[in-house]
């Protein structure tokens, strides 16, 4: 055998068994989004590199050191999307959605790419589910987006979730705060950890997030962002909290919460779960009132969130949850010593029952009669057919002889279908 080709680092195959839980996540999200009036959107997997530089910010880790950037054969610089908001905002303008009744509500589920050191819950290619609402600065939009996100988690039954909430203020407030923070921190510059020293110049707000003990001591005495919020910012944030409370959603206000992307303004939040370990963020979001304009569109306030599907699945698995496959309605097998006529008959029965919407498993493995019976049981089929050259017999669970089906295929199918209807209205007999 030739050498096996390994998975690229930080990627994964999603096998049928994995898809069962993922489908549940996607179905749940779709239901929640549609109930709230969201339409689905997809954007390209790669964009012009400039989109992320301008939109997300060159000083951010995600764009500064984690992108997959390449030059294509036409000498264009392209980047695999590391997050969803920039692309959706671009599409909002390019697709003329800004001329539709505002706000426009969009949801997506798309792969994201970040060159990071892989760990559980941290992949180089991962899938993010998320939404963006563009065209309204009302606090009700922030609260609605958070409520949809919380609703998805609640429907899925995610354990131990905590919503951390903060307001980073409007652009003016942030500029003023940033200046004050730099002024406070500069005398301590040599005592800060290396990363924070660098950020003093590039992205001082992120220093608030540092876990370095000495940096934290210094940060403890720093001016706090809430003091710099404008009256409008404060009123907006209060309103968001009031609405969340009205929706029965608990939130912990965390004045040190700062998000890693440059475009956030005002409300920012993060859902964490103790089930996840170090990568504890299940999903996070925020308002980004300046982004669309920065990308060349009309001034458009907006809010959104993203949540990692793999991390949700990890939470569900921590609960010991496994999703079951749909039980098959009937199992069709061909008698081991039968010939082509029997296979043709079995194939007709199978395809025609499927036309009626039945889930039918045809024994393509050519199992023994006993093997067929075992397999039918494993698939939770309570009805089984054994087809030979002359006709077919139908067995119910525990049935010894089976009953002969009409040799006419259409009549046989009608009889099987009627039996399935009858079984559906009866309690399923338990295996003994």
The 10 Å Cβ neighbour count of residue 105 is 22
Helices marked H in 221-273: 231-246
In terms of CB distance, is 38 or 305 closer to RNA?
A: 305
- Binding to RNA (CB under 7 A): which residues in 118-137? 118-123, 126, 128
- Shortest CB 267 distance to RNA, Å: 14
What are the backbone dihedrals phi and psi of residue 389, each rounded to the nearest 5 degrees, phi first? -65, -25
Q: Which of 73, 99, 326, 370 binds RNA (CB under 7 A)?
A: 370
Check if the beta carbon of residue 412 is closer than 8 Å to that of residue 390. no
Tell me if 368 contacts RNA by CB under 7 A.
Answer: yes
Contacts of 312 (CB under 8 A, 6+ apart): 25, 129, 153, 156, 158, 282, 283
Among 115, 122, 130, which residue's Cα sits nearest to residue 61?
A: 115
Q: What character string, x for contact with RNA (CB under 7 A) and - otherwise, covers 171-190?
A: --------------------
Sign of CA dihedral 142, 242, 251, 170: positive
- Shortest CB 37 distance to RNA, Å: 23
Check if the beta carbon of residue 105 is closer than 8 Å to that of residue 37. yes
Q: Which of 163, 205, 261, 335 binds RNA (CB under 7 A)?
A: 261
Taking CB under 7 A as the binding criterion, the range among 36-44, 91-99, 101-109, 204-212 that sits at the site for RNA is: 204-212
Taking CB under 7 A as the binding criterion, the range among 16-24, 43-51, 397-405, 418-426 that sits at the site for RNA is: 397-405
Task: Give all strands (DSSP E) within 335-424, no chain letters.
Answer: 360-362, 383-387, 392-396, 403-405
Tokens 């440059």 -> residue: 262
Tell me if 269 contacts RNA by CB under 7 A.
Answer: no
| DSSP secondary structure letters along 124-188 | SEEEEEEEEEES---HHHHHHHHHHHHHHHHHHT-SSEEEEEEE---HHHHHHHHHHHHHHHGGG
Q: Tell me the β-bridge partners of 131.
A: 107, 305
Q: Which of 66, 191, 388, 417 binds RNA (CB under 7 A)?
A: 66
Using CB under 7 A, count the residues that bind RNA. Answer: 72
Token pair belonging to 431: 């295996």
Tell me if 260 contacts RNA by CB under 7 A.
Answer: yes
Tell me if 287 contacts RNA by CB under 7 A.
Answer: no
Q: Tell me the β-bridge partners of 124.
A: none
Q: Which of 89, 241, 300, 307 binds RNA (CB under 7 A)?
A: 307
Please give the DSSP secondary-structure letter assigned to residue 382: S
Grouping H, G, I as helix, E, B as strand and the rest as coil, residue 104 is strand
Tell me if 212 contacts RNA by CB under 7 A.
Answer: yes
Tell me if 424 contacts RNA by CB under 7 A.
Answer: no
- Shortest CB 17 distance to RNA, Å: 10
Tell me if 5 contacts RNA by CB under 7 A.
Answer: no
Taking CB under 7 A as the binding criterion, the range among 28-36, 101-109, 233-241, 392-400 that sits at the site for RNA is: 392-400
Taking CB under 7 A as the binding criterion, the range among 72-80, 150-158, 227-235, 398-406 that sits at the site for RNA is: 398-406
- Binding to RNA (CB under 7 A): which residues in 67-106? 83
Q: Which of 101, 190, 337, 400 binds RNA (CB under 7 A)?
A: 400
In terms of CB distance, is 212 or 293 closer to RNA?
A: 212
Taking CB under 7 A as the binding criterion, the range among 35-43, 165-173, 230-238, 378-386 that sits at the site for RNA is: 378-386
């Amino acid at each position: 055998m030739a050498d096996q080709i390994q998975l690229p680092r930080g990627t994964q195959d999603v096998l049928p068994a994995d898809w069962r839980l993922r489908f549940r996540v996607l179905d749940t999200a779709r239901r929640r989004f549609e109930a709230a009036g969201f339409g689905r959107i997809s954007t390209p997997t790669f964009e012009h590199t400039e989109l992320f530089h301008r939109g997300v910010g060159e000083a951010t880790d995600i764009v500064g050191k984690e992108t997959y950037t390449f030059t294509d054969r036409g000498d264009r610089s392209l980047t695999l999307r590391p997050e969803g908001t920039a692309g959706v905002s671009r599409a909002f303008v390019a697709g003329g959605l800004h001329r539709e009744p505002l706000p426009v509500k969009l949801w997506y589920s798309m792969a994201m790419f970040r060159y990071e050191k892989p760990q559980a819950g941290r992949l180089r290619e991962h899938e993010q589910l998320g939404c963006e609402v563009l065209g309204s600065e009302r606090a009700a939009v922030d609260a609605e987006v958070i409520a949809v996100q919380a609703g998805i988690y609640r429907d899925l039954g995610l354990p131990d979730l905590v919503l951390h909430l903060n307001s980073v203020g409007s652009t003016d407030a942030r500029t003023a705060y940033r200046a004050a923070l730099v002024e406070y921190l500069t005398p301590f510059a040599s005592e800060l950890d290396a990363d924070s020293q660098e950020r003093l110049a590039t992205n001082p707000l992120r220093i608030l997030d540092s876990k370095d003990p000495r940096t934290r001591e210094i940060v403890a005495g720093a001016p706090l962002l809430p003091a710099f919020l404008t009256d409008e910012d404060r009123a907006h944030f209060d309103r968001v909290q009031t609405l969340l409370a009205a929706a029965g959603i608990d939130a912990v206000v965390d004045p040190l919460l700062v998000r890693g992307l440059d475009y956030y303004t005002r409300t920012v939040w993060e859902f964490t779960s103790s089930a996840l370990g170090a990568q504890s963020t299940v999903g996070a979001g925020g308002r980004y009132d300046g982004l669309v304009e920065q990308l060349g569109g009309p001034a458009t306030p907006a809010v959104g969130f993203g949540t990692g599907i793999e991390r949700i699945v990890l939470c569900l698995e921590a609960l010991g949850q496994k999703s079951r496959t749909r039980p098959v309605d009937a199992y069709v097998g061909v008698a081991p010593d039968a010939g082509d006529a029997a296979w043709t008959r079995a194939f007709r029965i199978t395809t025609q029952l499927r036309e009626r919407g039945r889930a039918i498993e045809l024994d393509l493995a050519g199992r023994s009669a006993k093997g067929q019976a075992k397999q039918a049981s494993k698939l939770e089929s309570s009805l089984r057919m054994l087809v030979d050259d002359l006709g077919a017999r139908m067995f119910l669970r525990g049935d010894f002889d089976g009953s002969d089906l009409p040799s006419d295929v259409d009549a046989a199918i009608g009889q099987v279908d009627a039996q399935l209807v009858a079984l559906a209205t009866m309690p399923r007999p338990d295996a003994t």
